[in-house]
Structure 1
Amino acid sequence: MDSQNAAVNGADLSPAEFTSDLHRSDFPKSFVFGTATSAFQVEGATHEGGRGLTVWDKFTYTPGKITDNTNAEVAIDHYHRYKEDIQLIKDLNMDAHRFSIAWSRIIPDGIGRSVNKEGIAFYNRFIDALIEKGIAPYVTLYHWDLPLTLQDKLGGWTNREIVEHFAYYAETCFAAFGDRVKHWITFNEPMQFCYAGYGSGYHAPGRTSERTKSAEGDSSTEPYLAGHNVLISHATAVEIYRSKYKPEQGGSIGFTVDCEWPEPLSDSTEDKEATERRRAFQLGWWLDPIYFGDYPVQMRQNAGDRLPHFTEEEKLLLRDSLDFIGLNHYTTRWVTSQQLPSNPAERNYWVDQGVLTTAEKDGVLIGEKAHSFWLYIVPWGIQRLIEYVWKTYKAPIYICENGMDEFNDPAWTVSNFAKDSTRVKYYQEYLKHVHKAIENGADVRGYFAWSLLDNFEWAAGYTSRFGLYHVDYSTLIRHPKDSARWFSQFLEPKVANPSL
């Protein structure tokens, strides 16, 4: 791997596609650049180190749930290769790395109170190795991999009892790692695991009202109930951190939401209102209770009593329970209005929005399509999203995920994958718009590229590659793509001209 690493650091990138009028020095001095991964997608070693099973283990073992019928038992073996991978981060000249802790490595069944010492030791080694390389650890406590016992015995996020279990897990992590971890994220993309896991059934645990997909589930109520318990779990963990650990450890704690930027398809009042509803159901679902005390009015109107209510005590607990907002953003969609169905049986989180989204307008795509069916390259969307979030919530922002994928074409060689000029352009253009948002006054403090490495991409299995580094899934050898080479140059400190 030394020769591969040298290829990142030593290449002289002169072609036009690698030139950029933007450099890291154009961003604020304290601005953080980093990479991102999640435990289930990269670690593997699912039966090692005392780790318990998760809902995603069970989901991947269920025929038909994963596009290529694969699983993450090995993933990309980050559990054993983490030192090598940390060197790859260093080669990129990154300041930080965002990763998640696997709950089932810390509390194997999620319910018990006995802490797995092997799991604690693994993350201690990982955090220490990052810091030794000068890379700041940004830790996500929950990135979708719920311990299986919590789902099987309690119903997972639909059971209010999960709050106390998450709180115990979170406090265990604060106590074990908080002397070195100064940036915590309680949850990653709750909209995805609450709706896709408890509504559409597309993600684990796969619950849905569609009986052809699942024998259990109620898509009209469970996503909202799960989301409610996630919010209370978040606020409870924050209260524990702020009252017991922050005074001594001095860190900060946030929450990461994902959002496609919605743009009205036309200038009609109906489409503009539909766009506002779309934002309310994506962002307001999570951030309005924290900053304004309740769910958005559009959600109350369209979901009715299926949307839970907060007690006064819960409202106080939630109030301002964020030091920063994490934003995951990839793409933008046109939005138009759609009438709600009169039949209550047809209602669910998606239908309740009363919208249709599309990537096409007047026969023209909104942007170049990446591999994933949902991902179009629309750089201006990230600027509009950042400026909207800053104007609405006035909280510091970290871009916690941003990136694009290509199809894992079996006919391609490593060299084919390495020539990812579309990804290079993606990062160049999206970062330009992040910079413009900062120039316009938004308090953006960091940017994390998704992803450090090609990995197990949830329901898409290994068919989709998001990495800056190509991973050969048969040998697990890592190879830098041109996007890795570009980042290493973009982030390289400028050297003053001695002749000036």
Structure 2
Amino acid sequence: MKSTFLWGVATAANQCEGAWQEGGKGISTADILYDGTAGEYPENLKIYPERYYTYHTGNDFYHRYKEDIALMKEMGIKCFRMSIAWTRIYPKGIEDKPNEEGLAFYDRVFDELKKQGIQPLVTISHYEMPLYLVQAYGGWKHRCVIDHYVKYAKTVLDRFHEKVKYWITFNEMNFISTIPFCAGGLLIRGKDNKEQDMFQGAHHQLLAHALVTAYSHGSYPDLKIGCMVCGTLAYAQTPNPQDALEQLECDRETYYYTDVFVRGRYPNYADSFLKKKQVVLHKQEGDDEILAEGKVDFLAFSYYFTRIAPINPNNDPDLTDNERMLGKLENPYLQRTQWGWVIDPVGFRLALNKFYDRYQVPLFVTENGLGARDVLCEDKRIHDDYRIDYLRQHIRELKKAVEIDGVDVMGYTSWSGIDLVSATSAQITKRYGHVYVDYDDQGNGTGNRFKKDSFAWYKRVIETNGEQL
């Protein structure tokens, strides 16, 4: 691995910060999710006082960021992927002036990272947006949200461009058609053609991404800006050529987005792709020119699992969010996690090669990790050898992609460094970190941090630049 490789960990503001009513923060879409995307849609877009919402506490990063950054420094990480909460900067999304208290909080976080010699990688929008924009406009399906996002993004770029070099405009944008409320503030329950709103919302996000990317390139040419998908590529079910076409169709669900990120235009199959879904994309004059100006400096992606095509073999119109994400067909050659996610390290190498062969731009692996029910022993130790095994296998395949296949990878940030709330289940007990956080799903516990066995293991991986796995 090259000496400049950015080993790190990844988090998201809505999943770790907590302090949901502090510092002038507004209510976000994440704040009303009681059970994550597992419940698909919150009821009545409101908060029920009798319920406990894990997002409201997170892992308390808002108050403990110095402690957490010190742990990252001890682990030896070079890069910390984090996000800025839109609702800390513009509480409702429509304000003329930003919330200075929110901006000042991130100033302090970036200053602490600099003090510890850690490079931030910042996601501008990561599975949260002002709830007001959903209540007033229906989320990203309305074109006016573009302007509100661009105003927010320009604000943080203008404020932090001297402190943050690496930026991502959207987290896992392709999941707006998988977990539409979480990723786009879309309310599609009961609608006949759910995909119409999904892909219209995606078009608006792509325009917003392109406008912000062009602004960054023009105003701050030294910055590097990318966009991100969840790298859920697929296998054919059998050697039948028809199944190979199904695989192609499945992969195109991801390439539909990444082609625009990198090439600045929709793919050649876009018209037939949308027609098959009965989607009529409403575009305005000049949209194509906007997209052409928004080409990324790098392509970011998360990697957790692969799927078998087709994702929806029986054309079930009521496919759940989870089924859209994981697919319905089993792969008999692979094991699954406690939450049913396929474990496929070789698929990671394949994904790296597919993306790089297609685009020839630097890649950044911004999430990869194992959610598990960790046990805090009486001696305050956590023996997560299963996580070490998972990460070892995946990093080994990453090294093969780089050293054998010649894939250009900028960095790797494991999910999640420190335990946080899972976006798919709203559980903090679905633990991903190298550091255990003493909270349960009802908010009980001290919030104290305890290093897992994987902490020392990952520290050694970083110290040896991936040589000792």
TM-score by length of 1: 0.82
Instruction: Indicate the SS of the match to 1:407.
Output: coil
Aligned residues between the structures: 445
2-structure distance, mates of 1:272, 1:83 = 50
* 1:331 matched to 2:310: no
Shift of 1:203: 7.3
* 1:458 matched to 2:432: no
* 1:279 matched to 2:251: yes
Shift of 1:285: 3.2
Shift of 1:331: 1.2
* 1:243 matched to 2:218: yes
Q: Percent identity?
A: 27
Question: Does the CA-based 8 Å contact 2:262-2:299 persist in structure 1?
Answer: no
* 2:397 alignment counterpart: 433
* 1:264 matched to 2:231: no
* 2:103 alignment counterpart: 120
Equivalent in 397, 416, 422 of residue 386 of structure 2: 422
Question: Does the CA-based 8 Å contact 1:101-1:141 persist in structure 2?
Answer: yes
Shift of 1:290: 4.5
Question: Does the CA-based 8 Å contact 1:294-1:310 persist in structure 2?
Answer: no
* 1:98 alignment counterpart: 81
* 1:36 alignment counterpart: 10
* 1:399 matched to 2:354: no
Stretch moving more, 59-68 or 453-462: 59-68
* 1:7 alignment counterpart: none
Equivalent in 271, 281, 285 of residue 308 of structure 1: 281
Shift of 1:395: 1.1
Larger radius of gyration: 1
Deviations 1:439-463 (A, max 9, x none): 2111111100000111111241224
RMSD: 3.0
Shift of 1:300: 2.6
2-structure distance, mates of 1:289, 1:126 = 29
Letter in 1 for 2:459: S
Q: Which consecutive segments of 4 or more residues in structure 1 shift more than 4 A? A: 61-64, 66-69, 202-206, 309-312, 336-341, 347-350, 414-417
* 1:190 alignment counterpart: 173
2-structure distance, mates of 1:35, 1:62 = 22
Instruction: Indicate the SS of the match to 1:465.
Output: coil
1:72-221 matches, cutoff 5 A? 72-198=55-181, 205=185, 207-210=187-190, 219-221=194-196
* 1:369 alignment counterpart: 336
Equivalent in 325, 329, 336 of residue 358 of structure 1: 329
**Change over 3 Å in CA distance of 1:416–1:422 after alignment to 2:** farther
**Change over 3 Å in CA distance of 1:396–1:238 after alignment to 2:** same
2-structure distance, mates of 1:93, 1:429 = 21
Shift of 1:414: 6.6
1-structure distance, mates of 2:27, 2:449 = 27
**Change over 3 Å in CA distance of 1:140–1:233 after alignment to 2:** same
Equivalent in 406, 412, 434 of residue 468 of structure 1: 434
* 1:448 alignment counterpart: 413
Instruction: Indicate the SS of the match to 2:433.
Output: coil
* 1:318 alignment counterpart: 291
* 1:48 alignment counterpart: 22
* 2:48 alignment counterpart: none
* 1:6 alignment counterpart: none
2-structure distance, mates of 1:288, 1:104 = 27
**Change over 3 Å in CA distance of 1:339–1:454 after alignment to 2:** closer
* 2:453 alignment counterpart: 482
Instruction: Indicate the SS of the match to 2:120.
Output: strand
Letter in 1 for 2:449: R
**Change over 3 Å in CA distance of 1:264–1:218 after alignment to 2:** closer
* 1:225 matched to 2:200: yes
Shift of 1:209: 3.2
Instruction: Indicate the SS of the match to 1:368.
Output: coil
2-structure distance, mates of 1:414, 1:443 = 44
Instruction: Indicate the SS of the match to 2:217.
Output: helix
Shift of 1:418: 1.4
Instruction: Indicate the SS of the match to 1:209.
Output: coil
* 1:9 alignment counterpart: none
**Change over 3 Å in CA distance of 1:414–1:191 after alignment to 2:** farther
Instruction: Indicate the SS of the match to 1:139.
Output: strand
1-structure distance, mates of 2:200, 2:109 = 35
Question: Does the CA-based 8 Å contact 2:236-2:246 persist in structure 1?
Answer: yes
Question: Does the CA-based 8 Å contact 1:417-1:470 persist in structure 2?
Answer: no
**Change over 3 Å in CA distance of 1:295–1:69 after alignment to 2:** farther
2-structure distance, mates of 1:119, 1:292 = 33
Shift of 1:357: 4.6
Shift of 1:284: 2.4
* 1:497 alignment counterpart: none
Question: Does the CA-based 8 Å contact 1:203-1:459 persist in structure 2?
Answer: no
Shift of 1:433: 0.9
Instruction: Indicate the SS of the match to 2:135.
Output: helix
1-structure distance, mates of 2:378, 2:368 = 23
1-structure distance, mates of 2:80, 2:17 = 15
* 1:384 matched to 2:350: yes
Instruction: Indicate the SS of the match to 1:174.
Output: helix
1-structure distance, mates of 2:370, 2:433 = 8
* 1:59 alignment counterpart: 33
Stretch moving more, 452-461 or 111-120: 452-461
Letter in 2 for 1:400: T
Question: Does the CA-based 8 Å contact 1:137-1:181 persist in structure 2?
Answer: yes
Instruction: Indicate the SS of the match to 2:57.
Output: coil
Deviations 1:240-275 (A, max 9, x none): 1111232xxx11100011022311121111111111
2-structure distance, mates of 1:390, 1:487 = 26
Question: Does the CA-based 8 Å contact 1:414-1:470 persist in structure 2?
Answer: no
TM-score by length of 2: 0.87
Question: Does the CA-based 8 Å contact 1:328-1:402 persist in structure 2?
Answer: yes
Where do 5+ consecutive residues of structure 2 fail to align? 43-50, 440-444
* 1:253 matched to 2:253: no
Deviations 1:260-314 (A, max 9, x none): 2311121111111111111101232343464162145167345445141655632
1-structure distance, mates of 2:289, 2:266 = 11
**Change over 3 Å in CA distance of 1:28–1:237 after alignment to 2:** same
Question: Does the CA-based 8 Å contact 2:369-2:390 persist in structure 1?
Answer: yes
Question: Does the CA-based 8 Å contact 1:224-1:349 persist in structure 2?
Answer: no
